[in-house]
Amino acid sequence: NAGVTQTPKFRILKIGQSMTLQCAQDMNHNYMYWYRQDPGMGLKLIYYSVGAGITDKGEVPNGYNVSRSTTEDFPLRLELAAPSQTSVYFCASRPSAQETQYFGPGTRLLVL
């Protein structure tokens, strides 16, 4: 199993550009999550999904959108990039609400 994979590893965006951060898992996990980690801070939940077709907002959803059309994929969309979205983004998945999360390696995003 590849586990949780994220692409790209690193990206520079200009203010106002859009992009999609990709996340895929091959463990057939129902639950998937997107977090951001700012320097010196903990991880903050952006969006999560409890299964295909179901998504919900976390702590910091503004400026982001998600979709979950399949169990495997959970892309995160930035529509109008802002410098405040400069961060490291982690995707995670877990099989059920009672089990731990497995994280991907992260995507580092710089908005200039």
Partner 1 sequence: DQQVKQNSPSLSVQEGRISILNCDYTNSMFDYFLWYKKYPAEGPTFLISISSIKDKNEDGRFTVFLNKSAKHLSLHIVPSQPGDSAVYFCAASVSNTGNQFYFGTGTSLTVIP
Contact pick of 2, 42, 62, 112 for partner 1 (by CB under 8 A): 42
| Alpha carbon distance 37, 105 (integer Å) | 12
Contact pick of 1, 2, 62, 97 for partner 1 (by CB under 8 A): 97
Residue 27 falls in which region: left (phi positive, over 0), alpha (psi -120 to 50) or beta? alpha
Distances (CA, A) of 52 to 18, 28, 29, 40, 55: 24, 11, 10, 33, 8
Q: How far is the CB of 103 from partner 1 (least distance, A)?
A: 3
Q: Binding to partner 1 by residue 13, rule CB under 8 A?
A: no
Q: Which stretch binds partner 1 (CB under 8 A): 13-21, 64-72, 75-83, 102-110?
A: 102-110
Q: Which stretch binds partner 1 (CB under 8 A): 12-20, 37-45, 67-75, 76-84?
A: 37-45
Query: Encoding tokens for residue 28?
Result: 């057939």
Question: What is the C-alpha radius of gyration for the chain, rounded to an integer number of angstroms?
Answer: 13
The residues in 60-89 that bind partner 1, with binding defined as CB under 8 A, are: none
Q: Binding to partner 1 by residue 48, rule CB under 8 A?
A: yes
